[in-house]
Amino acid sequence: MTDLTTNYLGLSLRSPLVASASPLTGSPDMWQRIEAAGAGAIVLPSLFEEEIENEAFAVSFAAEHGADQFGEALSFLPELPLPEVGPARHLGLVEKAREVLTIPVIASLNGTSPGGWVRYAKHLADAGAHAIELNLYDVVVDPTISSSEVERRYVELVEEVRAEISVPLAVKISPWFTALGNLAVQLQAAGADGLVMFNRLYQPDIDLDSLTVVPKLQLSTSGESRLPLHWIANLRSAVQCSLAASSGVHDGADAMKLLLAGADVVMTTSGLLRHGPEHLMVIERFIREWMVERDYVSVDELRGSVSRENVPDPQVYERSNYYQVLHSWVPDRPR
Ligand SMILES: Cc1cc2nc3c(=O)[nH]c(=O)nc-3n(C[C@H](O)[C@H](O)[C@H](O)COP(=O)(O)O)c2cc1C
C-alpha cells in the first residue's frame, strides 16, 4: 500500500491533497464530502482585514453613539459580545468545522497591514483552528511605495501574527516579487512555518458595450501550475519551512509534478469547484497508480526528487532555460 502521509506545518496529514480556501470549503454541507474524498486538510475561506475593521468601526460607532446619550455607557461595555455577523460568524464556522471534521482545519486570515485586526489570528486559533494561513493578497499600484517598503510591511505583519498564536502559521504569497527567494527566507525568519505558493491575482476586464470596468473571476487552468512548480523546485532547498503548491492543480499529473518539485502539500480550488469534492479521489488514484508503477512506497521518498538541487542540470530551472525554451519551439507546419 502506498503511503501518502505528509508533514505540513508540523501537522501530520494522511494525504498531500488539500482543499484550498473557497466557497466550497466554507459550506458545511461540503465538509464531509471533502473529507470522504480523501483531503489531507481543509482551508476555510478567509476572514478579511476589511471585515474586521468594518466590524470594529461598527462596534465603536455603536458604543460612542450610546455614550452620547448615557454618560457612563462606555464603561458598561468593556466586553462587547461579538455580533453574529462577519468575524463572529467566521469564528463559528471554525468551531463547527472542528466538530464535524477529523482532518486538520486551517483558518485563513486575509490582509496586508500590521495592526489591531491581527488579534483575530488568536481568536481563530482559540476557536479550534489547527493552523492559521495568512493571505498577503496585495496589489501595490501606488508608485511612491517601494518594493522594500512592501516587503518590510509583510515581514512585520507575519511577526505580529506569529506573536499572537502558538499554532502553526502558513503565509500565502503571490509570485510577483523581484527577489522571491529572499522574501521567502525573510518570511520564514519572521515566523512562517510554511509558504503557500501562490495566490492567483485577479485582473478586472473592460466591458466594450458599457465601457465599464468589470471584476471577472475565471477559474484557473492546468498550465498555471507551472508557476508554483518552477518556484517550489527552486526554493525547496533554500528554505526549511513547508511548501504548499496552489494554483492550477486540476489533475493527478499536476499534483504529481508539484510533489516531485518539492511541495509538501498540493492545494486545489478551481478543480473542486468545477468537478466537486470527489475530484480529489481522481487525483489521488492517479498519484497512487503512478507511484505503484515506479515502485515508490511513500510520498516522502519521492518529494523533491526533481527539485533544482536534485536534477543533473539545475540550469533548467534558471535563466539559461529561457534560451533553450525559445529555441525549442517548432511550428506545427509552415504558415
Ligand atoms: C470563488 C473563489 C473564492 C476564493 N476565496 C478565497 C479565500 O477566501 N481566501 C483565499 O486565501 N483564497 C481564496 N481563493 C483562492 C484559492 O484558494 C486558490 O488560491 C486559487 O483559486 C488558486 O487555486 P486553483 O488554481 O486551484 O483555483 C478563492 C478562489 C475562488 C475561485
Which of 214-237 are b and which e, b meaning 16 or more Cβ less than 10 Å from the residue's Cβ?
eeeeeebeeebbebbbbbbbbbbe
In a domain, 195, yes or no: yes
How far, in Å, is the centroid of ligand 1 from the Cα of 36? 21
Residue 213 exposed, middle or buried by CB count within 10 Å (0-12, 13-18, 19+): exposed
How far, in Å, is the centroid of ligand 1 from the Cα of 65? 38
In a domain, 276, yes or no: yes
Q: What is the pLDDT of residue 83?
A: 41
- Given a cut of 70, the residues of the chain with pLDDT beneath it are 56-85, 320, 334
In a domain, 1, yes or no: no
CA distance 248 to 198: 10
- Quote the strand ranges of 16-110, DSSP E: 17-19, 41-48, 105-110
Shortest-distance Cα residue to atom 3 of ligand 1:
22
Q: What is the pLDDT of residue 58?
A: 56
Q: What is the pLDDT of residue 82?
A: 41
How far, in Å, is the centroid of ligand 1 from the Cα of 334? 41
Atom of ligand 1 nearest to the CA of 20: 17
CA distance 195 to 154: 13
How far, in Å, is the centroid of ligand 1 from the Cα of 180? 21
In a domain, 140, yes or no: yes
How far, in Å, is the centroid of ligand 1 from the Cα of 201? 10
- Cα separations in angstroms, 45 against 100, 239, 269: 16, 27, 11
DSSP string computed for 171-197: EEE-S--TTHHHHHHHHHHTT-SEEEE
CA distance 14 to 7: 9
With a 6 Å cutoff on the Cβ, whether 110 touches ligand 1 is yes
With a 6 Å cutoff on the Cβ, whether 242 touches ligand 1 is no
In a domain, 335, yes or no: no
CA distance 194 to 98: 22
Q: How many CB atoms lie within 10 A of CB 87?
A: 20
CA distance 271 to 309: 30
How far, in Å, is the centroid of ligand 1 from the Cα of 22? 5
* Candidate of 17, 18, 20 to mutate for ligand 1, largest count of ligand atoms within 8 Å of Cβ: 20
Name beta bridge partners: 134.
109, 171
Q: State the amino acid at position 329 in one-letter form.
A: W
Q: What is the pLDDT of residue 50?
A: 86
Q: What is the pLDDT of residue 56?
A: 61
Q: What is the pLDDT of residues 289-301, one digit of tens each?
A: 999 999 999 999 9
The domain of 11 spans 6-328
How far, in Å, is the centroid of ligand 1 from the Cα of 219? 9
Cα-atom radius of gyration of the chain, to the nearest Å? 22
Shortest-distance Cα residue to atom 2 of ligand 1:
22
CA distance 67 to 225: 54
Atom of ligand 1 nearest to the CA of 21: 17
Here the CATH number for the domain that contains residue 305 is 3.20.20.70
How far, in Å, is the centroid of ligand 1 from the Cα of 313? 34
With a 6 Å cutoff on the Cβ, whether 23 touches ligand 1 is yes
Atom of ligand 1 nearest to the CA of 137: 11
Atom of ligand 1 nearest to the CA of 273: 31
Chain position carrying cell 465538509: 31
CA distance 42 to 13: 11
What pTM was estimated for this model as a whole?
A: 0.91
Atom of ligand 1 nearest to the CA of 246: 23
Total domains in the chain come to 1
Q: What is the pLDDT of residues 301-324, one digit of tens each?
A: 999 999 999 999 888 888 767 878
Q: What is the pLDDT of residue 145?
A: 97
Contacting residues for 110 by C-beta, under 8 A, at least 6 apart: 46, 47, 48, 49, 134, 135, 137
In a domain, 333, yes or no: no
CA distance 265 to 249: 11
Q: What is the pLDDT of residue 67?
A: 41
Name beta bridge partners: 41.
18
Residue 150 exposed, middle or buried by CB count within 10 Å (0-12, 13-18, 19+): middle
How far, in Å, is the centroid of ligand 1 from the Cα of 247? 8
Cβ atoms of 220 and 267 closer than 8 Å: no
Q: What is the pLDDT of residue 57?
A: 54
Shortest-distance Cα residue to atom 23 of ligand 1:
247
